[in-house]
């Protein structure tokens, strides 16, 4: 599977550079539809914009999901001085977006660049900068436009309800690191595209009927709540592995989640994933993610009767400027390949 890692990396870089905060994901949907179509598949869009595709195999249905929606902002109000107040899309600390460049995308499709700054941010003018609480009352978007009043901004066509995409600052280093915002969960979306490519090219002997679902509202909680075909009995959310504190996952491993904030994952499915990782001598870790929810849990909460699991590449500094490594991508790809070709127990 090593030979698919460069394709996976290319997809991740392209997806990271495609803005898709939850609620504004049409460009990412188009990207996925085109990528899957060029691999020879027939993807479909659900009503809420998830991308669903069957990649072959017979037997019981297994669905693998990843989300391409990301964190972002929305214009909450245009201020009298021509600055923008924002509201969050998804959850993250405000110091993770301080001084970040961003793009305001109007409902008419016009785009304006800007920067997220503390109000009155000059260190030569203000002494208490380290002590100010970072939140939407003390921070604002400064547009790269000559605007001084609310009316100036409105004349550009910007108003409350416009989406704001954060600059992902995507970098792939020579030695295999990928640094970017939104590797959660564009790293896994790239991995699923790589898996789809490998299934076709290698004619992998699938032991199940395999579906992929790319969801669009995971960061706001309901991405995986709908859009499933008939006949599914197992679901694996492929989403970032949490890194930090007492967790064993790092950027080089595939992380198998035993439990997150919503509770434990299916016993048999999770145990099987651990067995396969062990047998194939993959770099892996089994972890508990303390502050985390997944599309699999959204599906179960919505009433689907599935065995559910969660795996993904280790992603450091999650919901900030994130980092993973090609080894983590490869180990995740290998575990998925083993699972979709493993006998049904």
Summarize as ranges the residues that interact with Zn ion (CB under 5 A).
184-185, 239
CA dist 148 and 14 (Å) reads: 36
| Min separation Cβ 158 and Zn ion, Å | 29
Determine phi and psi for 241, rounding to 5 degrees: -85, 130
| Residue with smaller CB distance to Zn ion, 35 or 66 | 66
Residue showing the smallest CB distance to Zn ion in the complex: 185
| Residue with smaller CB distance to Zn ion, 164 or 315 | 315
Q: Looking at 98, 111, 140, 218, which residue is catalytic?
A: 218
CA dist 85 and 119 (Å) reads: 11
Determine phi and psi for 202, rounding to 5 degrees: -95, 0
CA dist 95 and 90 (Å) reads: 15
| Min separation Cβ 209 and Zn ion, Å | 25
User: Of 40, 343, 70, which Cα lies nearest the Cα of 193?
Assistant: 40
**Known catalytic residue: 279?**
no
Is there a contact between 302 and 161 (Cβ–Cβ < 8 Å)? Answer: no
CA dist 312 and 269 (Å) reads: 15
Specify the DSSP class assigned to residue 216.
S
| Residue with smaller CB distance to Zn ion, 185 or 287 | 185
| Min separation Cβ 221 and Zn ion, Å | 11
Determine phi and psi for 222, rounding to 5 degrees: -120, 20
How many other C-beta atoms are found inside a 10 Å radius of the C-beta of residue 197?
22
| Residue with smaller CB distance to Zn ion, 215 or 331 | 215
Is there a contact between 313 and 254 (Cβ–Cβ < 8 Å)? Answer: yes
Q: In the block, which residue shows the tokens 């709540």?
A: 225
Is there a contact between 332 and 238 (Cβ–Cβ < 8 Å)? Answer: yes
| Min separation Cβ 219 and Zn ion, Å | 7
| Residue with smaller CB distance to Zn ion, 199 or 254 | 254
| Min separation Cβ 240 and Zn ion, Å | 5
By annotation, the residues acting in catalysis are 218
């Amino acid at each position: 599977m090593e030979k698919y890692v460069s394709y996976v990396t290319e997809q991740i870089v392209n997806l990271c550079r495609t803005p898709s905060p939850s609620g504004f994901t049409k460009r990412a949907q188009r990207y996925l539809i085109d990528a899957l179509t060029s691999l020879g598949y027939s993807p479909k869009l659900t009503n809420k914009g998830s991308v669903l595709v069957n990649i072959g195999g017979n037997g019981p249905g297994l669905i693998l999901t990843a989300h391409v929606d990301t964190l972002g902002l929305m214009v909450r109000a245009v201020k009298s001085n021509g600055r923008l107040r924002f509201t969050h899309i998804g959850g993250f600390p405000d110091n993770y977006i301080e001084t970040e460049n961003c793009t305001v995308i109007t409902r008419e499709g016009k785009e304006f660049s800007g920067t997220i700054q503390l109000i009155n941010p000059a260190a030569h003018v203000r002494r208490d900068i380290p002590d100010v609480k970072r939140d939407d009352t003390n921070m604002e978007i400064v547009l790269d436009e000559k605007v001084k009043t609310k009316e100036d901004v409105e004349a550009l066509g910007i108003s409350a309800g416009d989406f704001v995409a954060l600059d992902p600052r995507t970098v792939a280093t020579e030695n295999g690191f990928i640094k970017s915002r939104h590797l959660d969960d564009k790293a896994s979306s790239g991995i699923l595209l790589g898996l789809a490519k490998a299934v076709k090219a290698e004619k992998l002997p699938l032991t199940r009927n395999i579906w992929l679902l790319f969801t669009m509202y995971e960061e706001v909680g309901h991405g995986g709540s709908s859009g499933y075909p008939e006949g599914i009995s197992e679901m694996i959310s492929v989403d970032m592995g949490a890194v930090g504190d007492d967790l064993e996952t790092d950027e080089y491993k595939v992380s198998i989640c035993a439990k997150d904030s919503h509770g434990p994952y299916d016993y048999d499915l999770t145990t099987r994933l651990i067995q396969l990782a062990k047998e194939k001598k993959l770099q892996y870790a089994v972890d508990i993610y303390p502050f985390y929810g997944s599309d699999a849990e959204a599906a179960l909460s919505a009433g689907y009767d599935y065995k559910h699991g969660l795996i993904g590449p280790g992603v450091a500094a999650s919901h900030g400027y994130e980092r993973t490594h090609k080894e983590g991508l490869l180990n995740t790809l290998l575990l998925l390949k083993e699972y979709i070709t493993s006998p049904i127990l």
